[in-house]
């Protein structure tokens, strides 16, 4: 039992580090709201849900991407990143549960699509809150501002459609080689 806990904590630390590192490799998308960019950090938040379970994935994502925001000039919006992590992990975990924890190719592709769509929605929520709180806009104007700020989240979501399944199958193979899998 303690060995399983240590393995999960170690894997969560590894996923947090990967989230942080992948968030550094980004390309910015011009936007009047925030400083949006496309990266693979949220891909590994979604993957963490499949490999670690929702608790450790949420912890790893919040630490990895939250620290990235704190250390790279986005500290005033780190709470919004953590909110996105919580929502993404929650949706992916629920979808995975509804699919009876099956890890067939079709399920993993479906989870990648669900993760990508969720990232698009959480991006809108993020920019809506940002527009409401930072700019003090009324709800209708904040909604319009959030829509204008979404291109990076749409691109990130589309990227996740492909990267979640791709990296899942690569990581699945690697973790089986080193006996670090938790889904069996």
Domains of the chain as residue ranges with CATH: 2-177 (1.10.1760.20)
Mean pLDDT of all residues belonging to the chain: 90
DSSP, collapsed to helix, strand or coil, labels residue 31 as: coil
Asked if residue 46 lies in contact with residue 92, where contact means CB atoms within 8 angstroms, the answer is: yes
- Does an H or E element contain 28, and which? strand 27-28
Average pLDDT over residues 142-167: 93
Query: Which residue has better confidence, 55 or 30?
Result: 55
Q: What's the pLDDT tens digit per position in 41-78?
A: 999 999 999 999 999 999 999 999 999 999 998 898 89
In the structure, what pLDDT confidence band is assigned to residue 33 with cuts at 50, 70 and 90? low
**pTM for this prediction:** 0.92
Q: Where are the alpha helices (DSSP H) in the chain?
A: 2-24, 41-52, 54-71, 78-98, 105-134, 139-148, 151-177
Query: Which residue has better confidence, 108 or 103?
Result: 108
Beta bridge partners of 28: 37
Q: Residue 87 has what DSSP assignment?
A: H
- For residue 134, what pLDDT is reported? 83
Distance CA 24, CA 37 (A): 10
Q: What's the pLDDT tens digit per position in 155-177?
A: 999 999 999 999 999 999 988 88
- For residue 158, what pLDDT is reported? 96
Position 1 pLDDT exceeds 90? no
DSSP, collapsed to helix, strand or coil, labels residue 78 as: helix
In the structure, what pLDDT confidence band is assigned to residue 111 with cuts at 50, 70 and 90? very high
Position 181 pLDDT exceeds 70? no
Average pLDDT over residues 96-111: 94
Average pLDDT over residues 22-34: 82
Query: Which residue has better confidence, 1 or 120?
Result: 120
Position 180 pLDDT exceeds 70? no
- For residue 184, what pLDDT is reported? 40
């Amino acid at each position: 039992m303690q060995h399983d806990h240590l393995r999960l904590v170690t894997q969560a630390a590894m996923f947090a580090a990967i989230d942080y590192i992948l968030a550094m490799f980004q390309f910015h998308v011009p936007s009047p709201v925030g400083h949006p960019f496309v990266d693979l950090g949220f891909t590994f938040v979604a993957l963490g849900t499949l490999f670690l379970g929702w608790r450790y994935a949420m912890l790893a994502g919040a630490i990895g991407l939250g620290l990235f925001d704190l250390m790279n000039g986005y500290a005033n919006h780190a709470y919004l990143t953590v909110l996105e992590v919580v929502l993404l992990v929650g949706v992916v975990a629920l979808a995975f549960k509804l699919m009876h924890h099956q890890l067939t190719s079709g399920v993993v592709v479906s989870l990648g699509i669900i993760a990508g769509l969720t990232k698009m929605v959480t991006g809108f929520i993020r920019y809506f809150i940002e527009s409401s709180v930072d700019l003090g806009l009324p709800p209708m104007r904040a909604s319009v501002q959030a829509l204008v700020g979404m291109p990076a989240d749409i691109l990130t979501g589309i990227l996740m459609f492909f990267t979640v399944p791709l990296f899942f199958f690569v990581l699945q193979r690697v973790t089986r080689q080193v006996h670090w899998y938790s889904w069996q």
